[in-house]
Structure 1
Amino acid sequence: MMEKSGTDSINVSAGTYAAHVNIPVGLVGRLSTPHLLEDLLDRGECDYLCLGRASIADPFYPKKLSSMHSESSRF
């Protein structure tokens, strides 16, 4: 319904929506380890990750994730 009304993307707390819509799905909620983040993306449970708490606690967290992985990483 949201997709048909023109919604550009959605942000959810569970990864069960990505397979049912054709718009980008962002995942939020207790995304606490780099391994978990990569696993969620690899399984196709979302198109992007929302790192609220982690980014508030450490504004450089996304940059740190990026430096932990190769250039081919999605971070």
Structure 2
Amino acid sequence: MDFNPLFMIQFDLENNTSRYFGLKSGQAAMDCITDVYTNHGYLSVWAWVQTAFLPVTAVAVAGACIGNNLN
């Protein structure tokens, strides 16, 4: 599986500037998600149970991991 980085480019047409936001690596985000669901004892169990009943939990975890790995 190829983990290509995610990115975002923001253009400011008034000031004629641009900014690049990208992940350090897609693998870093995946490692973060795996860490949440496996390496924290009862908190990881709770994350699994909560995700089973509220799937939006997985979206929140992924969003947090992606946000933490932006450069």
TM-score exceeds 0.5: no
Bigger radius of gyration: 2
Which interval holds the TM-score relative to the shorter structure?
Answer: under 0.3
What TM-score results when the alignment is normalised by the length of structure 1? Answer: 0.26
Q: TM-score w.r.t. structure 2 length?
A: 0.27
Higher-RCO chain (CA-CA 8 Å, sequence separation at least 6): 2
